[in-house]
Amino acid sequence: MTSKGSAVVLAEDSLSLVHAGVCHLAEDARVAQIVIFCPPGHFVSGVDVGIFQSRLIENAVNRILEFTQIAHSSLFSISRCPKSVTAFVDGPAFGGGLELALACHRIVAGPKAKFCFPETGLGIYPGMGGTQRLPRRVGVGLAKWMIYTGSIVPAEHALQLGLIDAVSSASNVEEALSALDWAAPRLTLEPRFRQLAEMFATRNVDDFLDASAPMPTDAPSVRALVQTRSAAPQALRLAERVIDRGITLPLEQGIQIELAHLAAVFATNDARTGLNAVGKPRPKFSGD
């Protein structure tokens, strides 16, 4: 407990423990706001892909879906908390860690913060709300860019994209929260990000995968195209479908669409290939 009535849940814990901590503090009358705090290090580094690997070996995709539904319940509980919940990220927030941050009401980043959705490079797509909460924060074009390419976004760029609310070099919770008091309005996008946003909002996945299509001429677009083409084609197509359908609906319905396509993405050969290659060079995906 701090002097200003804020309370801390450590983000080094698992999602289930973070959720339990938030629920406990939500019932504490002494607590006015909750901070999911990350000392320098991983902000809930994400789901152990070993869980997915073992379930695929067992042909138990249904258990992956059950696990994901439980995670969604926890994240919705955090997002619906009657008290303000702020994520303070000062380390990598990748995959499930970023999905947890997106479920919070506000995100403050330290100088070591980095944000990434690496899933399409593993043959799957973000399945704990990433395909729905990210485009609602940064727009469809930039969300597709992050999800298709797996680009790592540092704190200063995340602020510009609107992914986070403030950047702070704070060493404690109160300083991190104070950053929200003087946070500047969303910055104007640099030309490269405007171009990437338009590129990914106006083209579909098959356009990107068409090897006969002319290459762009600017370096950021070329890099984004190469990154996209190295991801799993079926994961990209399913992610596109889920984003495009979900963004037109209320968040809860969008999440259901995301969940409804998980069985299909985990049934692909690319999912098995990508998840079995974790920690190794990115494999060449067959598209099956």
Percent of the chain with pLDDT over 90: 63
Report d(CA 253, CA 275) in Å as an integer: 28
For the entire predicted model, the pTM comes to 0.91
pLDDT score for 53: 74
Say which DSSP state 4 is in. T
Say which DSSP state 121 is in. G
Q: Of 109, 155, 147, 111, nearest to 232 (Cα)?
A: 147
pLDDT score for 161: 96
Starting at the earlier edge strand, list the strands of the sheet with 106-109: 6-10, 33-37, 84-89, 106-109, 166-167
Cβ distance 207 to 95 under 8 Å?
A: no
pLDDT score for 43: 76
pLDDT score for 3: 44
Intervals of the chain under pLDDT 50: 1, 3
User: Does domain 6-276 sit in CATH 3.40.50.720?
Assistant: no
pLDDT score for 205: 97
